[in-house]
Amino acid sequence: MRELIRELVETYGPSGVEDEIRAVIRAEVEDLADEIRVDPLGSLVARKHGGDGGKRVVLAAHMDEIGIMVSYVDEKGFARFTRIGGVYSLNTVGDRVAFSNGTVGVVGVEQKRANATKIPTLDELYLDVGATSREDCPVAVGDSAVFVRPLDIQGTRLIAKAMDDRIGCAVLIETLRRLESTPHDLYFVFTVQEEVGLFGAGTSAYGIDPDVAIAVDVTGNGDTPESYPMAVALGKGPAVKVMDSGMIAHRAVKDVMVQRAKDAGIPYQLEVLARGTTDAMAMQVVRSGVPSGCLSIPCRYVHTPSEMVDERDVENAVCLMLEVLRADL
Ligand code: CO
Ligand code: ZN
């Protein structure tokens, strides 16, 4: 699974420009699915037929990642930018970003800004792409970039940009690979534009009209120095969402995940996330409502260029998802 994860996290794909990452995922799932299609907003839907009497189930992971978009290029060729999703200046100064055309930019900060001892605002940052004028600048207004970082592996820890949510995509792909049989009609949905408003998940779920929906995404942690109190740690198992700042997980969906984990002896944690939400929030409220839950991968440093997960949690998430899909829902 490491090579799959490497391929997914190192691919370019900010919200709204998911073509490259969609092509990578499509190549992985094409031979495993019974049907495959791209819906109008760009989400990739891979369907696996089940037997009679099963439920229609959506499993969703978002393929977009946070990034920045050029908003202005000055006469010396420096670019100003705005955020795509939750990008924060604290995590950005000195970092490198890459555009789809391969251009790399360094995030600089105005040296003579007001309050130079404070964390700069995004307005006080700029992008240096090596240009000397607006004319020779290789990027233009409206172009999007993502952090540049390779996957690093230290023991059981995996570190990369875009673990949010390529690690969820990896869990879904690996689940589809290992799936032997299921009574359910399964839709593996790789959604677009999660980071800017959960848009792909809502529209895909509306189109599919599922009986049950489960998102796979990252969550926070409570096991780093002076972290917010949260009963989630890396390496202690995937987390079954109970609640986050956008939704209360449907009790039956939460309960079935907990019960299958217990029955199969798979480690798990319960997640109450005070800051953040997932595609499950959007899926839960389409049409007349879809019982929805989320299986979360504990992750440190979410929305920084160095998001860290534990490989054992990823493996156990695949095992638990397979258990959940094996029987009645
Ligand atoms: Co995110
Ligand atoms: Zn996410």
3-state class percentages of the chain: helix first, strand second, coil last, to nearest 5: 25, 30, 45
pLDDT bin (cut points 50, 70, 90) of residue 53 is confident
What is the helix (H) or strand (E) element at residue 20, kind and residue range? Answer: helix 19-29
pLDDT score of 285: 98
User: Across the beta sheet with 152-154, what order do the strands follow?
Assistant: 152-154, 157-160, 307-310
Annotation marks residue 10 as catalytic: no
Q: What are the domain boundaries of the chain? A: 2-65+161-326, 68-147
Q: Which ligand is nearest to the CA of 281?
A: 2
The answer on pLDDT for 116 being more than 90 is no
Give the Å distance between the CA of 218 and the centre of ligand 2: 6
Cα 266 to chain centroid, rounded: 23
CATH architecture of 2-65+161-326: 3-Layer(aba) Sandwich (3.40)
Q: Which CATH architecture is the domain 68-147 placed in?
A: Beta Barrel (2.40)
Tell me the average pLDDT of the chain: 97
Whether 2-65+161-326 shares its CATH topology with 68-147 is answered: no
Tokens of 38: 């791209």
Residue 52 has pLDDT above 90, yes or no: no
Q: How far is the CA of 82 from the centre of ligand 2 (A)?
A: 19
Q: Which of 18, 65, 194, 195 is catalytic?
A: 194
pLDDT digits (tens, 9 = 90+) for 211-257: 999 999 999 999 999 999 999 999 999 999 999 999 999 999 999 99
Q: Is the pLDDT of residue 114 over 90?
A: no
Tokens of 293: 């839950």
**From ligand 2's centre to the CA of 314, what distance in Å?**
15
Question: How distant, in Å, are the alpha carbons of 73, 99, 150, 177 from that of 77?
Answer: 6, 16, 27, 47
Closest CA to 62 of 186, 183, 203, 179: 203
Confidence (pLDDT) at 14: 98
Contacts 24+ apart (CB under 8 A), 111-114: none
pLDDT tens for each residue of 246-270: 999 999 999 999 999 999 999 999 9
